């Protein structure tokens, strides 16, 4: 007599199902969700932007494409740091957007002596400004007002920035440059 443990029946294989439209519906659903997530990501968090001009050379060059994180600065003004590359509405014409590097934070004393930037009387280390792009002008000390920022282009002798049109109000800053995505050979974090 066989014990229940000794008997074994092979499991029945499931009968083949006729092809239905469920695979197509599933694919369409997945594509729709992916598109919706991409739209949310681009509209609310990351925005693709084209760099126009040479004021941020050599780090960013004319016609490069970058992603701007629009969400990071919505969390509060105190998460803007010295050295950040910010995208903002130009103070003299808010229909235009500029990208510059934050040099002076609210309350800072900013002075430029023969092209060297001093913040709170200490020389700022700026490895992103190469000698051939540095100007040798001097500017008297300025105190950055509350809720405003002093910004400069990295190509100092070819940049329209806080030296010529003043500080940038915090509400005008809408994003932080984070990633170069075109051309392919330069893909990577913005420095």
Given the residues 34, 55, 158, 176, the one annotated as active site: 55
Position 12 scores a pLDDT of 57
Round to whole Å and give the CA distance between 82 and 144.
13
Give CA separation, 124 vs 78, 79, 115, 127, in Å: 20, 20, 11, 10
Q: Which residues, including other chains, have CB under 8 Å from residue 131's CB and lie 6 or more apart? A: none
**What does pTM read for this prediction?**
0.79
Which positions of the chain have pLDDT values less than 70? Answer: 1-21, 43, 75-78
Given the residues 70, 95, 97, 100, the one annotated as active site: 100
Position 13 scores a pLDDT of 59
Domains of the chain: 47-189 (2.10.109.10)
Across-strand partners of 86?
A: 100, 176
Q: Using an 8 Å Cβ cutoff, are 66 and 190 in contact?
A: yes
159 phi/psi in degrees, rounded to 5: -125, 130
CA-closest candidate to residue 191, choices 183, 181, 179 = 179
Position 35 scores a pLDDT of 86
Active site includes 100?
Answer: yes
């Amino acid at each position: 007599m066989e014990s229940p443990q000794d008997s074994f029946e092979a499991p029945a294989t499931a009968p083949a199902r006729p092809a239905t439209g469920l695979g197509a519906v599933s694919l369409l659903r997945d594509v729709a969700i992916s598109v919706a997530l991409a739209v949310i990501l681009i509209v609310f968090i990351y925005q693709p932007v084209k760099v126009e001009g040479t004021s941020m050379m050599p780090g960013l060059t004319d016609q490069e494409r970058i992603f701007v994180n629009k969400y990071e600065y919505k969390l509060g003004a105190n998460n803007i740091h010295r050295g950040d590359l910010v995208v903002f509405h130009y103070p003299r014409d808010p229909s235009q957007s500029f990208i510059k590097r934050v040099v002076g934070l609210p309350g800072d004393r900013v002075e430029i002596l023969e092209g060297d930037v001093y913040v709170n009387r200490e020389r700022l280390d700026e490895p992103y400004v190469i000698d051939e792009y540095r100007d040798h002008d001097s500017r008297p000390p300025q105190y950055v007002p509350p809720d405003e920022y002093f910004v400069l282009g990295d190509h100092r002798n070819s940049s329209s920035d806080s030296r010529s049109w003043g500080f940038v109000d915090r509400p005008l800053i809408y994003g932080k440059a984070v990633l170069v995505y075109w051309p392919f050979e330069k893909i990577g974090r913005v420095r």
